[in-house]
């Protein structure tokens, strides 16, 4: 009985000892907290003086555009709120490899830190907040690179690079009109294929029978879904694809997938206009945003499954099926 109690006591003591952090670990946590606080102060209190935000904070400038409070097209970047969580999920996914990676100082990481700080200084002087935010992302990668070495930095490439989707790239608004024209033309062709006679007039789709007419306006260009699908496809490819080239193949399809989803949405609105009339169809239009993502996500998952498929096994099974179905 005493032996059992003694053994239990030893087990409890060992667990308590393992639960207590060492001095070096506490120092590491403290240094990490100071680094995070310093980065926040640098980019919040000494960021860019942007006139339309009235703040020196790069974070406020960025989140204001996520919230669509300032410039045209800001709502296209509302997915920015979810990007940091995707990066954290990618780090958690690689946590065992990160903990097991050998740790050592690497002077190349210090060069990255110096480069990032220079970028932020230039961005602040030129009032180019996007450059400063890029520098912040580079710092989030360069500091672990310097402190822990290349094996750790290599594992952090994607989680840090994924943060780039947080940066509002409002200059992409210039592609809004070409996207509208393409979506209108493709939807017009699909409508004519099923017997709904329509014609494209600029970015508008007009029924030749006079039943309806609607314009593919800027909010329907598909830019918002394109940017969000690019981010979604990137994280989906990272978690699901087994090889580097498969990840890139799936990621490269994100733009065609988003465009296909938007064309499907406009096509459905055209069919609804023909079947129900223009006014009732506009109710469907207001609620049809999910169609873009539904179509794009289904295509993304299907393509991902196709890429992961063992083609030798698939071909062998298909050949066996053909042979079994062939007449004797």
13-45 pLDDT, tens per residue? Answer: 445 444 566 777 677 778 778 888 888 888 878
Question: How much is the average pLDDT of 189-204?
Answer: 88
Confidence of residue 71 (pLDDT cuts 50, 70, 90): very low
Whether the pLDDT of residue 141 is over 90: the answer is yes
Contact indicator for 133, 166 with CB cutoff of 8 Å: yes
104-135 pLDDT, tens per residue? Answer: 999 999 999 999 999 998 988 888 888 999 99
87-100 pLDDT, tens per residue? Answer: 999 999 999 999 99
Mean pLDDT across the chain, nearest whole number? Answer: 80
- Residue 143's CB: how many other CB atoms inside 10 A? 21
255-311 pLDDT, tens per residue? Answer: 888 888 888 888 888 888 888 777 777 766 666 667 677 888 888 998 988 888 776
Close Cβ partners of 83 (under 8 Å, ≥ 6 residues apart):
162, 163, 165, 166, 231
Percent of the chain with pLDDT over 90: 26
Q: Is 86 exposed, middle or buried (0-12, 13-18, 19+ CB in 10 A)?
A: buried
Query: For residues 49 and 217, which has the higher predicted lDDT (pLDDT)?
Result: 217
Contact indicator for 133, 58 with CB cutoff of 8 Å: yes
pLDDT at position 12 is 45
Q: Domain residues of the chain, as ranges?
A: 46-168, 174-320
> Cα–Cα distance between 283 and 288 in angstroms, integer?
9
Q: How far is CA 272 from the centre of its chain?
A: 32
Query: For residues 51 and 203, which has the higher predicted lDDT (pLDDT)?
Result: 203
Query: For residues 48 and 230, which has the higher predicted lDDT (pLDDT)?
Result: 230
Whether the pLDDT of residue 136 is over 60: the answer is yes
Whether the pLDDT of residue 254 is over 70: the answer is yes
Rg over CA atoms, the chain:
27
Give one DSSP letter per residue of 238-303, joined into a string: HHH-SSHHHHHHHHHTHHHHHHHHHHHHHHHHHHHHHHH-HHHHHHHHHTTHHHHHHHHHHHHHHH
Contact indicator for 292, 232 with CB cutoff of 8 Å: no
Give the number of residues written for the chain. Answer: 328
Q: Which of 199-213, 218-232, 307-321 has the highest mean pLDDT?
A: 199-213
Listed range (25-29, 74-78, 191-195, 288-292) with the worst mean pLDDT: 74-78
Q: Report pTM.
A: 0.78
Contact indicator for 48, 124 with CB cutoff of 8 Å: yes
Percent of the chain with pLDDT over 70: 77
Confidence of residue 81 (pLDDT cuts 50, 70, 90): confident
Question: How much is the average pLDDT of 162-191?
Answer: 84
């Amino acid at each position: 009985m005493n032996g059992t109690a003694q053994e239990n006591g030893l087990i409890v003591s060992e667990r308590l000892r393992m639960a207590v952090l060492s001095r070096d670990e506490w120092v590491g946590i403290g240094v990490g907290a100071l680094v995070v606080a310093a980065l926040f102060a640098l980019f919040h209190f000494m960021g860019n003086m942007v006139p339309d935000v009235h703040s020196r904070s790069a974070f406020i400038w960025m989140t204001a555009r996520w919230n669509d409070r300032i410039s045209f097209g800001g709502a296209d970047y509302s997915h920015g709120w979810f990007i940091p969580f995707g990066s954290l999920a990618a780090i958690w996914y690689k946590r065992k490899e990160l903990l097991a990676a050998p740790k050592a100082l690497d002077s190349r990481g210090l060069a990255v830190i110096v480069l990032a700080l220079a970028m932020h200084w230039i961005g602040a002087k030129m009032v180019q907040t996007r450059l400063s935010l890029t520098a912040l992302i580079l710092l989030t990668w360069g500091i672990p690179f310097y402190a822990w070495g290349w094996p750790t930095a290599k594992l952090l490439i994607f989680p840090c690079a994924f943060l780039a989707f947080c940066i509002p790239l409002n200059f992409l608004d210039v592609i809004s009109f070409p996207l509208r024209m393409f979506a209108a033309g493709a939807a017009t062709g699909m409508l004519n294929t099923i017997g709904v006679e329509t014609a494209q007039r600029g970015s508008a789709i007009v029924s030749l029978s006079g039943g309806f007419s609607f314009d593919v306006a800027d909010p329907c260009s598909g830019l918002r879904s394109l940017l969000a699908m690019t981010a979604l496809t990137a994280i989906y490819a990272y978690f699901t694809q087994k090889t580097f080239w498969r990840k890139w193949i799936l990621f490269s399809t994100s733009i065609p997938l988003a465009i296909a989803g938007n064309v499907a949405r406009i096509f459905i609105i055209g069919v609804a206009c023909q079947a129900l009339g223009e006014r009732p169809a506009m109710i469907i239009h207001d609620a049809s945003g999910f169609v873009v993502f539904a179509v794009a996500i289904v295509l993304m998952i299907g393509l991902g499954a196709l890429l992961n498929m063992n083609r030798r096994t698939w071909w062998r099974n298909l050949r066996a099926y053909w042979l079994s179905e062939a007449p004797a």
